């Protein structure tokens, strides 16, 4: 496969240069997967708007979704990045592995979420009635279902983009599940 070019700040539009500076200030670098969005004049800002939209979900719940979707889609880039974000949100290394397996022993509500996300991702939105009932029984609402679906879509975008471009992972590599 042809190597996909990762633009530098000097190679992107002024609008994207501003976003690169913001990312550099927040994360300490411009992640490769975000940088390649800047090949498009509008995609980087559009993606960040989607990723940072207001939601009924807590940051920990969003990281559960990010990790489960990325595990289902075998996206090493997103697994590596979101392992770091999950740890920044208070999850331990072992908890991250449980989340990726969608078998969470430390929080019943997050376990119902992980199982719902795994089923939705694997089955392209078609979730068994029992999984959906457990999702609602755990305390999630119709609004939650919409917000979860938005995060699933967000993560599918980056999972697929990484699969198509194979840009190098610039995060500490996530461990392989046994």
Question: With a threshold of 0.85, does the pTM exceed it?
Answer: yes
Q: Are 55 and 62 in contact (CB under 8 A)?
A: yes
DSSP sequence for 84-134: HHHHHTT--HHHHHHHHHT--SS-HHHHHHHHHHHHHHHTTT---HHHHHH
Please compute the mean of the pLDDT values over residues 60-86 and round it to a whole number: 98
Q: What is the mean pLDDT of residues 117-135?
A: 98
Does the CA dihedral 68-71-75-76 come out positive or negative? positive
Judge whether 87 lies within some domain.
yes
Q: What are phi and psi of 22, to 5 degrees?
A: -65, -45
CB atoms < 10 A from the CB of 88, how many? 10
> Per-residue pLDDT for 87 more than 70?
yes
Domain coverage including residue 122:
59-165
pLDDT for res 1: 65
Same domain, 65 and 47: no
What residue has token string 């889609």? 73
Residues 131 and 72 in one domain: yes
Say what the pLDDT of residue 178 is: 78
Same domain, 35 and 116: no
Confidence of residue 43 (pLDDT cuts 50, 70, 90): very high
16 and 75 inside one domain = no
Give the 3-state secondary structure of residue 91. Answer: coil
Is 105 in the same domain as 25?
no
CATH number of the domain within which 116 lies = 1.20.1290.10
Report d(CA 76, CA 128) in Å as an integer.
28
Residue 2's pLDDT is 74
Q: In whole angstroms, give the CA distance from residue 59 to residue 52.
A: 11
Torsion angle of C-alpha atoms 43, 45, 50, 55, degrees rounded to 10: 180
Q: Is residue 23 part of a domain?
A: yes
Tell me which residue of 171, 139, 164, 136 sits closest to 66, measured CA to CA. 171
Structural domain count, the chain:
2
CA distance 5 to 45: 19
């Amino acid at each position: 496969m042809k190597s996909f070019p990762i633009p530098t700040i000097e190679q992107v539009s002024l609008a994207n240069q501003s976003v690169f500076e913001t990312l550099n200030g927040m994360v300490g670098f411009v992640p490769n997967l975000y940088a390649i969005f800047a090949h498009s004049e509008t995609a980087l800002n559009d993606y960040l708007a989607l990723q940072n939209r207001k939601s009924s979900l807590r940051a920990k719940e969003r990281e559960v979704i990010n990790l489960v979707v990325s595990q289902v889609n075998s996206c090493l880039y997103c697994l590596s990045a979101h392992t770091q974000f999950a740890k920044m949100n208070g999850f331990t290394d072992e908890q991250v592995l449980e989340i990726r397996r969608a078998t969470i022993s430390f929080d019943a509500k997050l376990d119902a979420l992980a199982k719902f996300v795994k089923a939705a991702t694997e089955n392209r939105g078609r979730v068994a009635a029992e999984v959906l009932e457990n999702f609602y029984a755990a305390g999630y609402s119709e609004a939650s279902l919409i917000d979860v679906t938005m995060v699933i879509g967000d993560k599918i975008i980056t999972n697929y983009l990484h699969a198509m471009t194979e840009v190098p992972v610039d995060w500490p590599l996530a461990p392989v599940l046994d």
